[in-house]
Amino acid sequence: MAEHESLEFGKADFVLLDNVSLEEFMANLKLRFEKGRIYTYIGEVVVSVNPYRAMNIYGRDTIEQYKGRELYERPPHLFAIADAAYKAMKRRNKDTCIVISGESGAGKTEASKYIMQYIAAITNPSQRAEVERVKNMLLKSNCVLEAFGNAKTNRNDNSSRFGKYMDINFDFKGDPIGGHINNYLLEKSRVIFQQEGERSFHSFYQLVKGAPDAQLRSLHIQRDPTAYTYIKVGGQIKSSINDSADLKAVTDAMKVIGFTTEEIQTVYKILATILHLGNLKFGSDGDVTLIENSKLVSILGDLLSTKDENVEKALLYRTVATGRDVIDKQHTHQEASYGRDALAKAIYERLFCWIVGRINDIIEVKNYDVRVHGKNTVIGVLDIYGFEIFQNNSFEQFCINYCNEKLQQLFIQLVLKQEQEEYQREGIPWKHIDYFNNQIIVDLVEQQHKGIFAVLDEACMNVGKVTDEMFLQALNGKLAKHAHYTSRKLSPTDKNLEFDRDFLHSLYSVVGFIDKNKDTLFQDFKRLLYNSSNPVLKAMWPEGKLSITEVTKRPLTAATLFKNSMISLVENLASKEPYYVRCIKPNEVKSPLLFEHERCKHQVEYLGLLENVRVRRAGFANRQIYPRFLQRYKMISEFTWPNHDLPSDKEAVKRLLQGCGFEHDVAYGKTKVFIRTPRTIFSLEEQRAEMVKRIVLFLQKVWRGTLARMHYRRMRAALIIIRAYRRYKVKSYIREVNRRFRNVRGMKDHGKHVKWPTPPKVLRKFEEALRNIYNRWWAWTLIKDLSPEQLVQIRAKVATLECLKGQRADLGLQRAWEGNYLVSKKDSPGTASSFTLISSDLQRKDKFMRVLFSCNVRKINRFNKAEDRALLITDRHLYKMDPVKQYKPMKSIPLYNVTGVSISPGKDQLVVFHTKDNRDLIVCLQGMVPAGDSRIGELVGTLLSHFKSEKRKLQVNIVSPIHCSMNGRKCTVVVETKINQSQPDFTKSRSGYILSVPGN
């Protein structure tokens, strides 16, 4: 089934083994472990081997590879089983659960974390804030529960010392909306005692090593674990655990979940109380029991928010009711020590249960109405303590191992026994497979009146002093003939068992069974804590409000409570569709390289994995009743869609599977169809998904067609109305334009004052064209009677306006342009005749047609000196003349050699003529009458108009400073204003020239 892995990594599914034998199973398991493949399938069961190292196979990329995939499409992984459980829950609206089992240290807690991480990662695609909050709280709850419920043991640095089952609730969209946590049998004896090399719960070390100094001072705690009797029993242990960092993570997680600051403070006060209780020492003065270090009493009173004298009295006395009388009975030294230890264990257990309850209060689904929100489905994740066998196994190990036997019995019942019984019931040919049914072991422990728990409870109820040895004698009397029970008395030759201490084959010591089962805590302590002024502490001890004289029912024993919770758990799991993760511990030394064959073989045998392979090989992977199968897959076949007319649902299913070519892989029972390989189911699912798409597309097509036709009819009606309205608006506009402009020919301004009507949107471009036509007509009426000379001047002014508008202030458009100013007596009185004579000679010589422009100028010569000159521009040449020498021509520049003109954006009269040979002419117009007149606009417009008439281009630049070439050398001309300057003049600068012009 599991594909995409080569055979060098062994078989990815044990079902694919050539021969089903323990030797081949172990060889395949070892090969995959050594190749770094820690997950292997048995059908839909994941076998996980603890790698004892960090592996890069849980990141976002890996999650994406398994999201929405079927089991066989990717190599074996926890994410695959998590996705299968999620899909089953979402597709079939069915509650599912993932049962994680195995020895202590096999990796169960880590597996549950990765499963939670995967479910959180694949849900809530729409990123709803409330769902993100719920997911965050569910993930953070792990961190808090590990701190208070996990401890370092000799086998595991992070061993769960309690059982945990979490239900995650999902809405109809498949997004998590809450959850609920059940906890089972916290190993509270670890609070007061640990075996050599082990630690108490993480929370104590996190407080002592990680809390700020100020907090430790307020709790009267030293930063030294060896200073506290309860947590130094196992020795000073070095490990990979970072208690300081873990404390911050736990505190942050509690805040995220919703614990208040006062609640968190109370939690650490309780931890400090337990540490101080362990250091409390009792002494004797004759018959009177005393507290030797009485200073601790006031510290306990402060931490528990109660009076010091009440604390001391509860520790040294016991209030007893004899009829109507109430007396205080003095504790012996032994009773006081027992009471102190019982109080420490009880406080921690209540604290842990309160934390679980507080988390549940916050994460449980609230205000969920099935009628409004749809069915609320569940995925359960069971992470429960692993099977434990130590040198000295006490009551806790007995309960833990009973729990594992109970879960194994559920596995056998669901996977092996029910499977075989169902085949027989449905009439499917089947070869029976032998397997060990551990129901007999479960019955040995929990059977009414005869089981070990029943004998233990009976011993605890006897009046008078009952010892553990008496309990063992009772076991020997009732279970002597049981095949799976033994003791040294029943097997005198078995030296592994000690007289009056050990029983069963796993060496359980009866020492402490009676006390731990009674779980006695003096009522005085309950009243003391109930009367605390701390509301959180008070809420943990509700039974403390009972009066000492009030008669109550005998409380259930620890064994009975645990047995009932296990029966309830198994019933809960049995009501869901189970998925299994079977964890295996490869070695005792936590090595990532060592595979201990005998240890792993024992676990494989105990977990019944080989029998699981045989059943899977012989059986059918999936079965469904005929109506449900048809309901899901009937769209695949033409004979069953949408309904069939065959004699029965069974015949319809046969016809459907024959049409798909799967008849060789199925068997037909009385009420169910059995499908051998998951590949067939996956193929059916793929075909169904494809057909559902087509059905949905067909329905969408029909509906969209209906919508489109309705939309078309509405649009067509709207279009008819729009067209009629548009025609009306167009006609109205044209009539209005015609009315307003009817008599413009006879108007003085030819209709320039007439306001245009606002056009409809459709005629905006038409209006622009109409205005252009009108403007051209209006312009034509203005110029049609002008002389040729006036037209030339008009064209020049238009050219100036197009080129310089908005870039220079005074363009001289309001006055008449004379052009040839040197023939005017205003500009050159007394010398106009000389200029006229010279210009006539030049006309005869150079054959020019007309003078474009002439003016007196100030220029820069080739020696960088400023001098007065006259400028004459004709339609063929540009002449420089000397006004002092009767306008003698100095030099001429052919007009075709001029490439451009540069002027500044100011009010100055600077002009630079650019030539092809880079010998630019720099001049400043002068001698104007009146003096403030500007002729730059006239000069530029005249040149532009002339060049345009000759179909040549003249480049006009309006810049400051002006860049030019003087005698082949690059330079710049800058205009500066000077207050005391009378006339414009040029001066030399480092980069070129400066034209100084008069200021205001």
Residues annotated in the binding site for ATP, as ranges?
A: 102-109
In angstroms, how far is the first alpha carbon of the chain from the final one?
99
Residue with token string 């030399």? 988
In three-state secondary structure terms, 838 is helix
Q: What is the 3-state secondary structure (H, E, C) of 377-438?
A: EEEEEEECCCECCCCCECHHHHHHHHHHHHHHHHHHHHHHHHHHHHHHHHCCCCCCCCCCCC
Q: CA-to-CA distance for 602 and 593, rounded, in angstroms? A: 19
Which phi and psi angles does 306 have, rounded to 5°?
A: -145, 175
Q: CA-to-CA distance for 280 and 261, rounded, in angstroms? A: 29
Which phi and psi angles does 94 have, rounded to 5°?
A: -120, 140
- Told to judge if 661 belongs to the known catalytic residues of this protein, a careful annotator would answer no
| Token representation of residue 413 | 């019942």
Question: Which listed residue (156, 203, 517, 856) is catalytic?
Answer: 156
Q: CA-to-CA distance for 272 and 208, rounded, in angstroms? A: 9
- Told to judge if 169 belongs to the known catalytic residues of this protein, a careful annotator would answer no
- The alpha-helical segments, DSSP class H, found in 756-831 are 764-783, 788-804
In three-state secondary structure terms, 733 is helix
Cα–Cα distances in angstroms (integers) from residue 378 to residues 66, 119, 977, in the given order:
21, 12, 89
- Told to judge if 705 belongs to the known catalytic residues of this protein, a careful annotator would answer no
Q: CA-to-CA distance for 461 and 941, rounded, in angstroms? A: 124
Q: CA-to-CA distance for 811 and 938, rounded, in angstroms? A: 7
Cis amide bond preceding 125, omega within 30 = no
Question: Which listed residue (48, 160, 487, 800) is catalytic?
Answer: 160
- Told to judge if 544 belongs to the known catalytic residues of this protein, a careful annotator would answer no
CB atoms within 10 A of CB 947: 18
Check: CB of residue 526 under 8 Å from CB of residue 544: yes
Show the beta-strand stretches assigned E in 628-665. Answer: none
Question: Which listed residue (28, 43, 70, 105) is catalytic?
Answer: 105
- Told to judge if 388 belongs to the known catalytic residues of this protein, a careful annotator would answer yes
CB atoms within 10 A of CB 200: 26
Q: CA-to-CA distance for 135 and 124, rounded, in angstroms? A: 9
Question: Which listed residue (104, 123, 183, 377) is catalytic?
Answer: 104
Q: CA-to-CA distance for 913 and 944, rounded, in angstroms? A: 13
Check: CB of residue 276 under 8 Å from CB of residue 303: yes
Handedness of CA 989, 993, 998, 1000 (dihedral sign): negative
Q: What is the DSSP letter of 663?
A: G
- Told to judge if 105 belongs to the known catalytic residues of this protein, a careful annotator would answer yes
Partners of 41 in beta bridges: 13, 46
Would you mind telling me the total number of residues written for the chain in this entry?
1000
Question: Which listed residue (101, 109, 203, 517) is catalytic?
Answer: 109
Check: CB of residue 680 under 8 Å from CB of residue 662: yes
Q: CA-to-CA distance for 296 and 273, rounded, in angstroms? A: 10
Q: What is the largest CA-CA distance in the chain?
A: 157
- Told to judge if 854 belongs to the known catalytic residues of this protein, a careful annotator would answer no
Show the beta-strand stretches assigned E in 104-210. Answer: 150-151, 159-160, 163-170, 176-184
Question: Which listed residue (110, 187, 349, 388) is catalytic?
Answer: 388
| Token representation of residue 820 | 């040839």
Which phi and psi angles does 892 have, rounded to 5°?
A: -120, 145
Which amino acid is it at 850? R
Which amino acid is it at 903? I
Q: What is the DSSP letter of 319?
A: E
Numbered residues of the known binding site: 102-109
Which amino acid is it at 437? N
Burial class of residue 544, CB neighbours in 10 A (0-12, 13-18, 19+) = middle
Q: What is the DSSP letter of 280?
A: -
C-alpha closest to that of 570 among 404, 352, 456, 452 = 404
- Told to judge if 104 belongs to the known catalytic residues of this protein, a careful annotator would answer yes
Which amino acid is it at 164? K
Question: Which listed residue (28, 112, 159, 828) is catalytic?
Answer: 159
Show the beta-strand stretches assigned E in 773-918. Answer: 851-860, 866-874, 877-882, 888-894, 898-903, 910-915
The catalytic residues are: 104-105, 109, 156, 159-160, 386, 388
